[in-house]
Amino acid sequence: VQPEDNVLCIGGGPLPLTAILLHKRTGASVTVIDNDNQSVALGKGLLESLGYGAQIRFLPGDGRAFPLDEFTVIHVAAQVQPMDAVVQNVKAHSARGTRILVRLPKQQLAALYGRFEPLALSGFVDQVRHRWRNTGRTLLLVGSGESLP
C-alpha cells in the first residue's frame, strides 16, 4: 500500500484499527464502511477523537453493493457477513489490478465468524499466515476487472 492508493476497508466496526494503521503507516487515503449504524457512529467518534476525522472517511455501507471503482486496495475484515457475497461482489466489481485483502479467522474460531463458501475465495495470488490471536491468514486477490458469472 502506497500513499497514492485509495483504500476501502469493508467491516470497520466501532474500532476501525486496520483503517487507522493503514493510513498512519502508508499515508494512503482510507474509507471505512460498515452496515451497522451504531458501529459507524462509534467509529466516526473514535476517528474524530484521535484526530483522524479529516483523513479517514467512515460511511454507512454494505460490501455487497458499495461502489468500488475508485479504490485501488480493498480490505475485507474477518467478521464481515455474508463473507462469500461480499467477496464475490468485490471480485466482480473492482477495477482490474485492484488489490483485495481478505482476512480469515483461525480455523478453531471460524464457527464464531459465520459460514462462507470457500469457492468465493478462489483465485487468490498469495496469502500471509498470522500469529495474531484471532486472525489466521490474509489472502491477496487481484481484481480482473471482469464480471463474474
Residues 43 and 13: beta-carbon distance below 8 Å: yes
Widest distance between CA atoms in the chain: 44
Lowest-pLDDT range, 18-27, 48-57, 66-75, 89-98? 89-98
Cell triple for residue 123? 483465485
The answer to whether the peptide bond before residue 105 is cis (omega within 30 degrees of 0) is no
Nearest CA to 6 out of 86, 83, 95, 104 is that of 95
Integer Cα distance of 101 and 144 in angstroms? 14
Check pLDDT > 80 for residue 33: yes
User: Which pLDDT score is estimated for 147?
Assistant: 47
User: Which pLDDT score is estimated for 101?
Assistant: 87
